[in-house]
Amino acid sequence: MPHKAYKFRIYPNKDQQAFIHQTHGHCRFVYNHFLALWNTSYKEEGKGLNRSIMSKMLTKLKKQDDTAWLRNVDSVALQASYEHLIDAFNRFFQKQNNYPRFKSKKNPVQSYTTKNTNNNIAIVGNHIKLPKLGLVKFAKSCEVEGRILRATIKYNASGHFYVSIACEVPDFKTLPKTNKTIGIDLGITDFAMLSDGRKVENQRFTAKMEQKLKREQRKLSRRYEQAKKEKRDLRDCMNYQKQRRKVARLRERVAFQREDFLNKLSTELIRQYDVICLEDLNTKGLLKNHKLAKAISDVSWSSFVQKLMYKATWYGRKIGKISRFYPSSQLCHVCGHQDGKKSLDIREWVCPSCGTVLDRDLNASRNILAEGLTLLTQQP
């Protein structure tokens, strides 16, 4: 069954906050403990640990006097820690990420995951029931659909607490057919150019907040230097910590603005069109261009495409992805003449074959649509 996630801000009281921080520390200990054992096992025997071995070892750890404090927190959250380690190694072996590293308590973002067993995770009015925490007040921005599978409790650098709930939804309502198709050319000057001529402006969230961020970041740097000069621990410097949270909240606001924009745009497109065609962009490769890396990170093409993909799966739409090497900007969408790389350097060019005046981005989006539809018809 398809899964759907919901994210809410929670407002735990002081006792609940202390318990969340305690659980974060215990889960971090379990993860680091088994990572160290995994490294030792691999050096000595040439193989790592498996799920069964770690489960038995965790049980023994709880019975030992020096680690009996592990019994104080949610046992499922501790089990999820070594499950995350297994997943990290699986991704490493598939060359999806780097070798797993030890977790640090200095990391500004801390989280743990727990599963729903015997209805110990539930929505009760404007409170959410969580294992070992009881009822926690939360900002209920929407109704939760489906059966709750698990919850991840996260503490951000901003000092805010959030819960992400993963639900199993038995049946998504397929959207009615519109018999419309669209091609999308993603860019930086404009976030997207649609093949019907509509432009979606680049909101430039980071640029709008940049001056304020610079000012607050300079204050943070001065307080850091002052603490360093006085040889004080940063955790004891209240002015530094207050300013650190202020900077983190500004960055968090930018991230939430971007997320809201991408969600609304992707949902609008999914509702309006049966087929959406776009390019398979090499975002990682493009980020190596240091002149454009900041602007590319701000527009978040990868996140936008990802949202389109899973929403299309939910609501019965089709996504056509064309090769990143397809010369969409160089081909005339009217006659198919290829004008070479010089067409990439100008916003508008004239096709030497048919004389059509072509806007680079609009022409590209129409070529993307045509190629995407062709690829979809060739699929079995």
Give 220-269 pLDDT, tens digit per residue: 999 999 999 999 988 889 999 999 999 999 999 999 999 999 999 999 99
Q: What is the CA radius of gyration of the chain?
A: 25
- Residue 32: pLDDT band (50, 70, 90) is very high
Q: Long-range CB contacts (< 8 A, 24+ apart) of 370-373?
A: 370/183, 370/333, 371/277, 371/320, 371/322, 371/326, 371/328, 372/183, 372/275, 372/277, 372/278, 372/320, 372/321, 372/322, 373/181, 373/275, 373/277, 373/320
Closest CA to 376 of 312, 307, 282, 300: 312
Residues 298, 204 contacting (CB under 8 angstroms): yes
Closest CA to 99 of 83, 84, 88: 88
Residues 284, 248 contacting (CB under 8 angstroms): no
Helix (H, G, I), strand (E, B) or coil at 79: helix
Share the mean pLDDT of the chain: 90
Crossing angle of helices 14-45 and 75-93, in 10° steps, is 40
Cα 135 to Cα 128: distance, rounded to the nearest angstrom: 5
Q: How far, CA to CA in Å, does 184 sit from each of 42, 199, 263, 280, 370? A: 48, 10, 16, 11, 11
pLDDT at 283: 78
Cα 157 to Cα 343: distance, rounded to the nearest angstrom: 45
Q: Is 80 exceeded by the pLDDT of residue 292?
A: no
| pLDDT (tens digit per residue) in 171-187 | 778 889 999 999 999 98
59 or 290, higher pLDDT:
59
- Residue 287: pLDDT band (50, 70, 90) is confident
**Strands 122-124, 190-194: pairing kind:** unpaired
Residue 330 DSSP code: T
Residues 275, 231 contacting (CB under 8 angstroms): no
Residues 294, 335 contacting (CB under 8 angstroms): no
Cα 195 to Cα 211: distance, rounded to the nearest angstrom: 35
| pLDDT (tens digit per residue) in 338-350 | 876 544 557 787 8
Spell out a b/e string for 31-46, using b for 16 or more CB atoms within 10 Å of the CB, else e.
Answer: bbbbbeebeeeeeeee
pLDDT at 358: 82
Place of tokens 């906050």: 17
Cα 139 to Cα 123: distance, rounded to the nearest angstrom: 11
Q: How far, CA to CA in Å, does 96 sit from each of 1, 85, 92, 185? A: 25, 14, 6, 27
- Mean pLDDT computed over 291-305: 85
| pLDDT (tens digit per residue) in 45-58 | 888 899 999 999 99
Residues 3, 169 contacting (CB under 8 angstroms): yes
Q: Rounded to 5 degrees, what are φ and ψ at 198?
A: -80, 135
Residues 279, 371 contacting (CB under 8 angstroms): no
pLDDT at 127: 95
Which residues have a catalytic role annotated?
A: 185, 279, 361
Close Cβ partners of 321 (under 8 Å, ≥ 6 residues apart):
277, 278, 279, 280, 372, 375
The pair of structure tokens assigned to 244 is: 């650190």
Residue spans per domain, the chain: 3-168, 181-378
